[in-house]
A and B are shown apart, each in its own frame.
Chain A
Amino acid sequence: MTASQIGSSTRRFGGYERVTGSQEFVADLRLDGMLFVKLVSIDCARARIVSVDTSAARGLAGVVAVVTSDDLPQPVPRFGPVYKDRPILAVGETKYHGEPVAAVVAESKEVAEVAASLVAIQFEELPAVFTVASALNPLSPLVQEPELRSAGTLASTNVLSEQVFGWGDLGATEADLVIENDYCFPMVTHFAIEPHGCMVVSSSGGFEVWSPVQHPYLLQAILADLFDLPLTRVRVVAPDPGGAFGGKQNPKFEPLLCFLARMTNRPVRLILTLEESFQATRRTSAEIHIRSGFSRDGLLCFQDIESNFLLGAYADIAGRVVSKSNYLGCGPYRTPVAKIRARALLSHTTPSCAFRGFGTPQVAWALESQMDAAARHLGIDGLQIRLMNLAAKGEDVVPGDVPADGEWAQSVQKAASAVGWGEPLEPNHGRGIAVGIKSGATTGLSYSTIRLLFDGSVTIYAGTSDMGQGARTIFAQIVSDELGVPIEQIDVVMGDTSVVPFDLQTSASRSTVFMGNAILDACRDIQLQVRELAAELHGTALENVRIVAGGVFISEVKVSIPEVVQASLGRLRGELIGNGTMRRTDIANHPLGGRPAFFEFNCTAFEVGVDVETGEVSVIKHVSVGDTGKSLNPLQVEMQDEGAAIMGLGHTMMEHVILDESGRIANLGALDYRIPTSKDLPLSLSTYSIENADGPGPYGSKGVSEGAILCTAPAFASAVTEATGVVIRNLPLTPERVWRAIRDGASDSSTVEQV
């Protein structure tokens, strides 16, 4: 019998490979005879392409092909996870800075780079849309051609989608205090340390594609659709991503590479530079106008929210980011009346997509800052106003939908005590606290297959992408406990659509819950087979055979699973194969297509010290508490939580993609775009889990990988306000912005109606 793995801090599966450099990421793989691809783009966002002269590039020794949209099938195929709006290469005009106009294919990466610089593109810069205001202005140019949009009145606007959520009658609602403000959350970039990339081999029947994509089966489906192939003819091999954070969910350049592989009849490879990765994807920026009503004693009366999220030139999955985050726009509170108008706006900027938190950090920035504004006006404490409004377990957050699924106040109390809430502070120090909830996946489908081999060792097949969250470790832990197999005898196979059964996607902190349950189900399948074999061997009824903690009990006799398997299967050996499924289907007429499988709840608290001379903020304490249901691997939960917390500090303190007047990214690359380093790590960073085993995942678990990024910014800003008296409603809180606010005495500028 092995010691229980669930709840223990088992070491990272694949850890040895990662610390020794032998883990192979996509750029580490080589294919015989492969060619190198370099993308060619122009130095502004929106322009009409007048001409493309590829002759000099083609003339260079070692260049195999130079391809523009003219060389592709006409009309140029378009693709996307929701809307088929993104062309393989720019057609007629470019729509964002960095959109590829041509692609060079060459024998070496240097030749490809030189040739790319020789492609002469004449272009005429066109008026463009870079801001929310200009996207909403009916006189602005249209980002997407109306004839390419799906039907509807919005097709001739820059509004991709507009949704109104809410309950109760706003007009009939009274409040003692109404606070009204505007909040800004800028564009930020994923900055996975592994740049995006992929490789493709074209064979007679179809394609083999290597891509560190989060959703290999979606990529397979999109390619099969584009090339009219059966799914079996598109094999996607997905090496573990070197960080993804949502940025590697959906296809970007894989379709282009398939065309290039087909045209050249050679394997092709594209590894983006970090600068090109910046131009490939980003977080959706947002401007949020919000009116919040409170009673005299601090109870929420209503929220009236208008959210404008600025997407890029192609929709990717960003429309879903807007609807899912705004659906929970009132956060984890009891809100008697609410109206939330959420728009997804197209612009001539980098296509935005999923990014850890999926829109919630943007929404929570506004909502939680309002809670603090109200607390200040009412003379209540930031902790108290949250505790008095927080939905208790079983109470509605969105009436008629899944009620609060955790004892959230426990997380808030824990964070408050860990940060030393209410204790005396040094001068220029302050504390802040905030909460956030994100909807877990609403629908989904995961299959798993488990093979129990003759010697008792086990292979798990799971279509999850192990991108840093440590999914393999969790899956192995589950199987170890359920089948009594030592962790060292378990292998977890992922990332190959020709081998592993279907999984919808790796996103929304879903894998422990969805794939975890599929694996548990497959274990149950094997357990049943073992019980049947044992019953037959011992000539007893099935009910007399139980499996407890991976051991087989026949009445009072205990044997191991391998003993049963070996005795039954005999000389011919063989194995047992178990299958498991977790399916959560659509709900008709639900605004999100389905109810959240769970809520990811987090409470974050800070103590900061502000240097009022420079505006620099030192983080004295950073506390994050998540409602995890059950931490299957506490160490991995802490790692994920700390990682999300640090990433949250990035968009809170320093990160901001800056566009110039031509829509060029002015701070392109690691020199000019700062992310947190070891020096930015808080002096003290601690994370805690609240475990009440009340989640839908195995053993009562919930998803955990995004919680600590949800409300970092408002908690931090609130601490800065307490330290300095200034209120800032634009992110990031750079030293310059904090210093200016202090200099200008920027106290709370809320529009306030007090009855």
Chain B
Amino acid sequence: MIDALPVVLNINGLKYEFEVLPYRSLLDVLRDELGLTGTKECCAVGECGACTVHFDGRSINACLMLAIEADGGSVTTIEGIAPPGEMTRVQDAFLEHGAVQCGFCIPGMVMSAEYLLARNPHPTEEETREGLSGNLCRCGGYNRMLQAISSVSEESTP
């Protein structure tokens, strides 16, 4: 059997040191080993965005990164973007505008929206569509998500 390898990760501001089998993805580790199940799994091939997290300031699909590749890096998951009991403006706007149906895609969608607004606080509609285009929502809430993101963008001072 293959040996587990040591990995150090900063996740949501906390340091985690653990050993992981080299073929396990960052998503597997978050969900199965650390119990951070807010990040979802659907396609496991980088096509649906349900597993979107922020890694060293970039938005990535956690299913496509091996945990050992992530060694030494810093990860923010849906659990880490707002203190417990609170919501970010994006999360609040998603609810206000009715962007949330079954909710399965939503953690990934929120992470993509946060990333988009962090880099570009006033995206055009075109840019927002582009920014969410890696996240599939079968409930079809895209229209509402665009409205939610635009409302957050309007609130923030240019």
Contact = CB atoms under 8 A, between A and B. Distances in A.
Contacts of A647: 138, 140
B136 A21 contact: no
Contact of A273 (B24, B44, B87, B129): B44
Contacts of A245: 138
A626 to B, nearest CB: 15
Contacts of A273: 44
Interface in B72-121: 77-79, 82, 87, 91-92, 94-96, 98, 100-107, 110
B96 to A, nearest CB: 7
Interface in A619-648: 635-636, 638-640, 642-647
B100 A15 contact: yes
Nearest to A682: B143
A646 B143 CA distance: 10
25 contacts: A12-B98, A19-B103, A19-B106, A20-B91, A20-B107, A21-B38, A21-B79, A30-B35, A110-B23, A190-B138, A193-B50, A193-B105, A193-B138, A243-B101, A638-B98, A639-B101, A639-B144, A643-B141, A669-B43, A670-B42, A670-B47, A675-B138, A678-B135, A678-B146, A679-B129
A639 B138 contact: no
B130 interface: yes
Interface in A279-306: none
A642 B24 CA distance: 38
A94 B82 CA distance: 50
Contact of B146 (A195, A646, A677, A681): A681
Contacts of A194: 40, 42, 102, 104
Given A242-B104, A678-B128, A642 B141 contact: yes
B43 A670 contact: yes
A685 B138 contact: no
Interface string B33-58: 00101111111110110100000000
B9 interface: no
Nearest to A245: B138
B127 to A, nearest CB: 11
Contact of A639 (B21, B31, B133, B141): B141
A12 B142 contact: no
Given A642-B144, A670-B47, 11 more contacts: A20-B38, A20-B82, A20-B91, A190-B138, A193-B104, A243-B102, A273-B44, A669-B47, A670-B45, A677-B132, A678-B129
Interface of A: 9, 11-12, 14-25, 27-28, 30, 61, 109-110, 190-195, 240-245, 273-274, 467-470, 635-636, 638-640, 642-647, 669-671, 675-679, 681, 685
A354 B6 CA distance: 48
Nearest to B50: A193
B107 to A, nearest CB: 4
A647 B144 CA distance: 15
A193 B136 contact: yes
A190 B139 CA distance: 11
A19 B95 contact: yes
A24 B37 contact: yes
B133 A678 contact: yes
Chain B: interface residue count, which band? 35 or more
A642 B143 contact: yes
B14 interface: no
Contacts of A468: 101-103, 139
A110 B21 contact: yes
Nearest to A19: B91
Main secondary structure of the interface of B (DSSP, over half): loop
Contacts of B37: 21, 24, 27-28
B98 A681 contact: no
A12 B132 CA distance: 22
B98 A636 contact: yes
A677 B133 contact: yes
B43 A274 contact: yes
Contacts of A28: 31, 37
B95 A193 contact: no
Nearest to A670: B47
A21 B103 CA distance: 8
Interface of B: 1, 21, 23-24, 31-32, 35, 37-45, 47-48, 50, 77-79, 82, 87, 91-92, 94-96, 98, 100-107, 110, 128-130, 132-146
B106 A240 contact: no
Contacts of A19: 87, 91-92, 94-95, 100, 103, 106-107, 110
Nearest to A15: B95
Contacts of B43: 274, 669-670
A685 B142 CA distance: 10
Contact of A681 (B94, B107, B142): B142
Contacts of B98: 9, 12, 635-636, 638-639
A646 B140 contact: yes
Contact of B145 (A645, A669, A678): A678
Given A242-B104, A669-B43, A11 B1 contact: no
A52 to B, nearest CB: 26
A487 B102 CA distance: 20
B136 A20 contact: no
Contact of A643 (B82, B139, B146): B139
Name the 7 nearest CB pairs between A and B, nearest first. A21-B38, A242-B104, A18-B103, A646-B140, A468-B102, A670-B47, A468-B101
Contacts of A676: 140, 142
A274 B138 CA distance: 13
A12 B133 contact: no
Contact of A21 (B78, B96, B140): B78
A639 B94 CA distance: 12
Contacts of A190: 138
B138 A191 contact: yes
B91 to A, nearest CB: 4
B95 A669 contact: no
A277 B31 CA distance: 20
Contacts of B48: 193, 274, 670
A28 B40 CA distance: 8
A12 B97 CA distance: 10
Contact of A14 (B1, B24, B94, B103): B103
A274 B143 contact: no
A101 to B, nearest CB: 23
B39 A681 contact: no
Given A12-B100, A241-B102, A671 B136 contact: no
A190 B42 CA distance: 13
A614 B44 CA distance: 32
Given A20-B79, A274-B42, A274-B44, A469 B101 contact: yes
Contacts of B130: 678-679
A22 B85 CA distance: 11
Contact of B140 (A18, A274, A470, A645): A645
Contacts of B141: 639, 642-643
Given A643-B101, A670-B43, A670-B47, A18 B139 contact: no
Contacts of B1: 61
Contacts of A644: 140
Contacts of B140: 642-647, 676
A670 B23 CA distance: 22
Contacts of B128: 678
A242 B48 CA distance: 14
A647 to B, nearest CB: 6
B76 to A, nearest CB: 12
Contacts of A467: 102
